[in-house]
Amino acid sequence: MKSPPYNSSVISKAFAILRAFADEKPAWGVNELARYLDIPASSLHRNLKILRQESILEISSQTGKYKIGPEFLRIASIVSSQVEIKNIAKPFLEDISSTFNESVYLGIYHPQHKKISFVEGIHSHNPLQYVLKIGALQPIHIAASGKTVLAFLENEEIQGIFEDENVGLAEQNRIRQDIQLVREQGFLVTLGERLVGASGTAAPIFNSTQKVIGCITCVIPLNHYNESPKKELAKRITEGAKKISRVLGYREN
């Protein structure tokens, strides 16, 4: 069926409707959505009908409510696959690096290898800095950068990584304590694990399927780490990781 002509008001309402599904919850009744958007139910119904005709939305046979339709999912999937995460993350990395004058990196998890690699880095102007190697696969069970990702993998995958890396039982227990800490506070700080003489502060990044895909990590030489604003750094890294996740379509439960 051919789409009816659109005007700016219709387009604006359509985007408001789609943001409600993307940002708030995945299913809406007409009246509750009308109240949420402060749009007359009769006007909203016309917009919903258009979106349904285009398969952007559909009606659930179980609940009778509107939900995301197959055409919206198809478009979102194509766009998501074409988005370069480095381009999304770079402004956030630059902001953190310039604020604290420290090196900040984007780490990506590779499930097929069960390892992490750093794919983008913003180096500080500080002459005393540690530089992580870009592109090299790194163990995921060590350092803040790895453990913040490890914390949100399935238990079977975590155990498989321990076995592949020959991690002893005592070390597994210590790592699981760090994993629990990540889950509770959303970030982790480690000292001298991936690089001797350096601290790492990291927070996880998630995608639209609610899966962890990487992290932001800031690497600071230990000889001046105590002078840095630890709490503010952790806060900014956590906020940056959350913002990147939201751009990628992640929605917190």
pLDDT at 85: 87
CATH class of 8-80: mainly alpha
* CB distance 252 to 126 below 8 Å: no
- Residue among 171, 236, 234, 183 at smallest CA distance from 212: 183
- Residue among 136, 145, 134, 124 at smallest CA distance from 228: 124
H or E, element range at 231: helix 230-247
| Whole-number Cα distances in Å, 217 to 165, 196, 203, 221 | 22, 16, 7, 13
Q: Chain-wide mean pLDDT for the chain?
A: 86
Alpha carbon distance 201, 213 (integer Å): 17
Alpha carbon distance 249, 28 (integer Å): 19
> Assign residue 173 a region: left if phi > 0, alpha if psi is -120 to 50, beta otherwise?
alpha
- Which of 84-98, 117-131, 143-157, 221-235 is most confident? 143-157
Helix H segments across 20-142?
30-37, 41-53, 70-82, 85-100
- Return all residues near 76 (Cβ < 8 A) that are at least 6 apart: 208, 249
Handedness of CA 13, 17, 18, 24 (dihedral sign): positive
| pLDDT band with cut points at 50, 70 and 90 for residue 3 | very low
> Which residues, in sequence order, are bridge partners of residue 203?
216
Domain with CATH 1.10.10.10 in the chain: 8-80
| pLDDT band with cut points at 50, 70 and 90 for residue 177 | very high
Q: Say whether pLDDT at 209 is over 90.
A: no
Alpha carbon distance 136, 224 (integer Å): 27
Model pTM? 0.69
Q: Which residue is listed with tokens 């890294």? A: 237
> Which residues, in sequence order, are bridge partners of residue 185?
none
Q: Is 215 exposed, middle or buried (0-12, 13-18, 19+ CB in 10 A)?
A: buried
| pLDDT band with cut points at 50, 70 and 90 for residue 93 | very high
Q: Which residue is listed with tokens 């390892």? A: 115
pLDDT at 25: 87
| pLDDT band with cut points at 50, 70 and 90 for residue 2 | very low
pLDDT in tens, 40-85: 888 889 899 999 999 999 999 999 999 999 988 877 766 665 567 8
**Which of these ranges, 30-34, 79-83, 238-242, has the smallest mean pLDDT?**
79-83
pLDDT at 39: 85
Cα 67 from chain centroid (whole Å): 23
Domain with CATH 3.30.450.40 in the chain: 84-247
State which CATH number among 3.50.50.60, 3.30.2290.10, 3.30.450.40, 3.90.1150.10 fits the domain covering 84-247: 3.30.450.40
- Strand order through the sheet with 66-68: 27-28, 66-68, 57-59
| Whole-number Cα distances in Å, 79 to 73, 74, 85, 208, 232 | 10, 9, 12, 12, 34
| Whole-number Cα distances in Å, 73 to 47, 48, 54, 77, 180 | 19, 16, 12, 6, 34
Q: Say whether pLDDT at 211 is over 70.
A: yes
